Amino acid sequence: MTPMKKHLSVVIASPGDVKPERDLISATLDDLNRGIAGELGYHIDCRRWETDVYPQFHPHGTQGAIDKALRIQDCDILVGIFWSRFGTPVADARSGTEHEFRLAYEAWQMRERPVIMLYFKTEPFTAKTVEDAEQLKRVLEFKSTLPQEAVYGDVDDIEAFGKRLLNDLTQLLRQNFKLRGAVQPLAAPPAQRAPNNEWEQFELSQLPLYTFCGLHRETQRTATFQDFRIDRQRYANPNPVTHLWADVYRGCTITAAVEEAEPPHLSVAFENKPSSWPCNLTLRPVGEHAVVVGDHVNLTFEARVDSDASSAGTLAEVAMGVRVINGWFQHWAFGPGPGRYRLFYITDEWQSITVPLNGDSWWLFTSDGNHYFGPPKVDLDIIAGVVLELGSDSIDRPGPGRARVNLRGLHLT
């Protein structure tokens, strides 16, 4: 079966005097899909107002309709180009293009996405009217007041722009979007993020930090991490979930419930808003005892998108990132490097997910758990919890969207 490609979204932003350049951007993206992007397992989707905005009435006018269609806050790359015109003013900016740049920049400040690629065509232009001169003045003012983080490109003409854009996007794909599914070697986290603090002198049995997850001090040796068979009479498996997390600042939500089918499974409904951090849940081990990994080398479980709960706008494919909470109450994320998850993809059929526990493809997640006291290299001898991030297909971690997923049978193999 042909593997599913990961989609990257590129938004084109510009005033109306560079239509040939806008068309060239679209054509370049098509070429990349047939070349390096396809080879890396990606497909680039181009968003531009000419093709993505349909005739309509919108409470915020034309720009509101464009914003809704382009979804700049959750795109992966924004390509902007200016020449002689700055554009028509909108409610909150001197032009629609400036407004779109601001949306991208605000999203970048939060999560360093999208990648913002700005170009200025320097081909000579003769202003024939006062309005022409004013438009050119605004372009130059915008260029001179770009944020200090900005690195932009000057191009002489459309031919130079085409060559520069192809080279820049190829370099961006090779450096930032690795082969989909490839696991890259990872160096140990920097010492200041996970200092030793003379931890070698202690035995883990003397420091049961995993009890911070609400677990008993005694560990267990079992291949079953969580089977969702609830037993509250003997308190053998009272609750399979330690916590549910949502970015409430952005209005995200997540809920979970055990479905007592055979075999039982956990049903998780979530909604990630644009520019938010993804919803996640932490699964605790059966009996609330941390699990000794022993000779096991993989964490496996099954997952699917609940098609019975689908409706207009729900995700048909859900991306999932995995973290493991170890015996030191550290969160270790599975992926190629700090801030970047190796995403797993689930559809409406039950799929087996296998996460290798050995190797160096883990990085220390420093926004939760204990990352100040413990070994600076990954230690998964004990597993106290499994964290699953859920969302749409994106670059570094799950993105915006909503769906309901089912999970069952977490085991060590």
Strands 115-121 and 153-155, how do they pair? parallel
Q: Are 29 and 166 in contact (CB under 8 A)?
A: no
pLDDT at 362: 94
Q: Is the pLDDT of residue 65 over 70?
A: yes
Confidence of residue 204 (pLDDT cuts 50, 70, 90): low
Q: What percent of the chain has pLDDT over 90?
A: 69
Question: What residue ranges do the domains of the chain occupy?
Answer: 6-176, 199-412
* Average pLDDT of the residues of the chain: 89
State which CATH number among 3.30.160, 1.20.1250, 1.10.3470, 3.40.50 fits the domain covering 6-176: 3.40.50
CA distances to 97, 139, 152, 155, 226 from 142, in Å: 11, 5, 12, 17, 56
Q: Is 153 exposed, middle or buried (0-12, 13-18, 19+ CB in 10 A)?
A: middle
- For 199-412, CATH gives 2.60.120.430
Position of tokens 């526990």? 357
Beta bridge partners, 305, equal 405
- Condensed to tens digits (0 to 9), the pLDDT of residues 271-321 reads 999 888 999 999 999 999 999 999 999 999 999 999 887 777 899 999 999
In tens, the pLDDT along 66-103 reads 999 999 988 999 999 999 999 999 988 999 999 999 99
For residue range 121-152, what is the model confidence (pLDDT) as tens digits? 999 999 999 999 999 999 999 999 999 889 99
pLDDT at 194 over 70: no
CA distances from 309 to 126, 266, 269, 272 (A): 59, 14, 9, 17
Mean pLDDT value of segment 156-161: 95
Same-fold call for 6-176 versus 199-412? no
Sort 23 into a burial class: Cβ within 10 Å, 0-12 / 13-18 / 19+: middle
Q: In 176-329, which ranges are E strands?
A: 216-220, 224-226, 241-245, 253-259, 265-272, 280-283, 289-292, 298-305, 318-326
Banded model confidence at residue 155, pLDDT cuts 50, 70, 90: very high
- What is the tens place of the pLDDT at every residue in 95-114? 999 999 999 999 998 888 89
